[in-house]
Amino acid sequence: MKKIIFDTDIGVDDAFALACAAKSQQILGITTVFGNVAVGQAVKNARLFAQLVGCDAPVFRGCSRPLALSPSASAAPVHGGDGLGDVLENPFPEEADSAIDFIINSVRAQPHEVTLVAIGPLTNIATAINLAPDIVPLVKELVIMGGAFGTNGHAGNVTPHSEFNIWKDPHAADQVLSSALPVTVLPLDVTHEVLISGEDIRSLKVPVLEQISRGYLQYSLAKEGFEGMALHDTLAVLWLTYPDFFTTVKAPVRVVTEGITLGQTLRKIGALASRFDPYAGCREQTLCLGVQADKVKAAFLAMLQA
């Protein structure tokens, strides 16, 4: 069990991840960010879903827009207008204390003990290290769900090149991934390999997960011909307990911040000398590019059925 700060733009797959984290990790706090929904809705969702899964961690409000780009539309067609399938009453308020202050203060208070788990845009993380660069060497690990490197044809899910979380704020992602933070990346290369069906979800006997996923499953069936979903964000939580189920490589990473490949994640794959090296000075990050999908799926089902 690790001490984690759970950073989320909470939608349907984020809720599955939070349910797993509540079962398996010590959640110090839940920090919210824009993405699947506006940040105020993310605060409401985090409070509601934490209560539903028996998690008493405090919830904090983070960034409401990207560092440099104009805000883009939410993911309502996939996650519903409220991010949780439009099936739950949510009386909780949108206001909360600062997520950025909470991240900074927590890491300073517990050096080398706090793992950041970021499953939305990386704006909160970038803002925290901008305001308090002293925390960079104090973070135990940053685990993110985001990006796509093309393994087995798994490229973008928003554009042909770009994954949603990175595309929402590519400038923040580039800053974080090229920083000295120790980052582990769970990209679409592995998340699209671990699929669960509607029947799998119903077998969990967790009514709220079945309720919030109905619209997501209908969307998937219409778009992909599959009544199911990729676990996506949940893999960032499962990595904490089951790292041996993943195959990793080490490489520096940059993110494209303009043009038709906006939001694309690029790893350095060659050692040939060049006159200009955009990876110069970048830390080698841990990239999960392979996964034992059956083992990860079984671990997920066992965790939520426990």
**218 Cβ contact list (under 8 Å, min separation 6):** 227
CATH number reported for the structural domain that contains residue 142 in this entry? 3.90.245.10
- Residue-range definition of the domain harbouring residue 295: 3-305
Count of domains observed in the chain: 1
Q: According to DSSP H, which parts of the chain are helical?
A: 12-24, 39-52, 76-79, 99-109, 123-131, 164-168, 170-177, 188-191, 198-203, 207-224, 234-241, 293-305
**Cα separation, 215 vs 86, whole angstroms:** 8
Full-model pTM: 0.97
In the residue annotation, 232 being an active-site residue is answered as yes
Token reading at 176: 């974080």
**Cα separation, 49 vs 201, whole angstroms:** 17
Could you say which of 79, 154, 192, 232 is catalytic? 232
pLDDT tens for the chain, 306 residues long, are: 999 999 999 999 999 999 999 999 999 999 999 999 999 999 999 999 999 999 999 999 999 999 999 999 999 889 999 999 999 999 999 999 999 999 999 999 999 999 999 999 999 999 999 999 999 999 999 999 999 999 999 999 999 999 999 999 999 999 999 999 999 999 999 999 999 999 999 999 999 999 999 999 999 999 889 999 999 999 999 999 999 999 999 999 999 999 999 999 999 987 777 788 999 999 999 999 999 999 999 999 999 997
Q: According to DSSP H, which parts of 225-273 are helical?
A: 234-241
**Cα separation, 71 vs 82, whole angstroms:** 17
Q: What is the largest CA-CA distance in the chain?
A: 58
